[in-house]
Amino acid sequence: MVNFSLYKRETVVLAVLLLVAFAVRLLLFPLQGYQNDMGTFAYWFNTAADQGIRPFYTYVMTNVGWVDYPPLNVYIFYVFGSLAQAFPAVSTTFFIKLVPTIFDIATSILIFLFLRRQLTFKQTLLATSLYAFNPAIIFNVAVWGQFDAIYTFILAVSLILALKRKPEASAAVFALGLLTKPQGIALLPLIAVLIFMKVGVKRLLTSVVAFIATIFIVILPFEWSNPVTFLSGIYFGAYGNYQYTSINAFNLWGMFGLWIPDGSLSLVGWALFGAFAAITMFVFYKRYKVSGDTLAIYAAFLLFFAFFMLPTRIHERYLFPAIIMLVLLVMFSKKIRPLYVALTATLFVNQAYVLYYLNMNAFIPSGDLVVLLVSVINLIMFLYASILLWDELRGRRIIDAAEPKAAEEQVTPKLENAQSDS
């Protein structure tokens, strides 16, 4: 029987943790984000509220000539822009930062719900806290006011749905993630392979249909004559505006300097990412029956990490979604913990250092020691993560310790194949 007293106690404790996490973010709202971003978001919020969803892109392109956020964001702009206009005494910046904060708290809830079936309450609460109070995450959301928390939440839901054998729902949600931020494309190989391995070709095909249908439903209200050119203009137009090796990302390319024209190096970067993604998917396919869902989550982390490290034209914030994947694994393996600590630190420094220079309207100087040091640390962590993948292929599992035992007050199902090989 369900212990409702225990359930109520856990709910109250979780609610208090989330309220504290929300309050911490609210207290940081007054801190200066990137002035240009805040001005751009404010314009988009007001335009969506004034003009409506349908003419948004036409209106902005006619009057400004530039907009690089995919269509799902416009619905968010409309809702929160309307709220901002309904409460003129409250700064629009408040509503801009409120949007990712809501999704950030939702991500914390998602982590708790997913892990609670495998861990004790205390262990689950600790893991949830590692995300809810992660300084790099908080800085991105509450100080900078970026929207990375939105697509991170959506992609995490998509992955979990795929793990739960709900392929059409996973594909539909994944489409929403891509319609929020194009960086979600990094997860596409895993979602496709995972659906195929879980439910077969037929359900993979129906998932593709669900994916396409979701895209059409979302973009239907907008003005467009051709859906392909409408979406490609948004995605590739933005990508073409940043033809540099590193857009302030302290990654492989950042070691050699920032904002260097990439030329043919763009193809090199994508070739590196493609090769690494293929290797990751090969190991995942070979070892999934042994290592189970934990390997899927690790593969998701690797894809996000590689997407940050290897292609050119990468921004400083693109490491953001990798953190949640580490949080989902950190209680199951000591090998994961150095990655969580190091990447939390490097993401925080990368964001804070870049924001400082951006608000000074200055470029980080060539040969900057902070850029070099953080980039090297990220490269070392990437090599370490790759070694763990190689060890997995050779039979030494990434989940290196027995799964934490369930607490006596509540015995719950355990993560598939979470016991380590001995």
**Average pLDDT by consecutive 10-residue portion of the chain (422 residues)?**
70 97 98 93 97 96 91 98 97 97 98 95 97 98 97 98 98 98 96 97 98 98 94 84 93 96 96 98 96 96 98 97 98 96 98 97 94 98 98 88 41 40 36
- As given in the structure block, the two tokens for residue 289 are 């029956």
In angstroms, rounded to a whole number, what is the distance separating the alpha carbons of residues 45 and 351? Answer: 24
From residue 168, alpha-carbon distances to 196, 204, 210, 298 in Å are 12, 8, 6, 22
What phi, psi does 68 have (nearest 5°)?
-125, 15
CA atoms within 13 A on the CB side of 124: 25
Contact by Cβ (8 Å): 382, 305: yes
The per-residue pLDDT for 7 is: 81
| Helical (H) or strand (E) element with 303 | helix 293-309
- As given in the structure block, the two tokens for residue 372 are 């070099």
Helix (H, G, I), strand (E, B) or coil at 330: coil
Residue whose entry in the numeric block shows the structure tokens 């319609």: 179
- As given in the structure block, the two tokens for residue 22 are 């929300």
How wide is the angle at C-alpha 113 spanned by C-alphas 112 and 116, nearest 5°? Answer: 75
Contact by Cβ (8 Å): 72, 117: no
The per-residue pLDDT for 6 is: 67
The per-residue pLDDT for 400 is: 60
Report the residue count for the chain: 422
In angstroms, rounded to a whole number, what is the distance separating the alpha carbons of residues 97 and 406? Answer: 38
From residue 330, alpha-carbon distances to 31, 210, 249 in Å are 31, 33, 25
> Which amino acid appears at position 73 of this protein?
N
The per-residue pLDDT for 410 is: 40
From residue 391, alpha-carbon distances to 4, 335, 381, 395 in Å are 43, 12, 15, 6
Tell me 406's DSSP state: P
Other Cβ atoms less than 10 A from the Cβ of 343: the count is 24
CA Rg value for the chain:
21
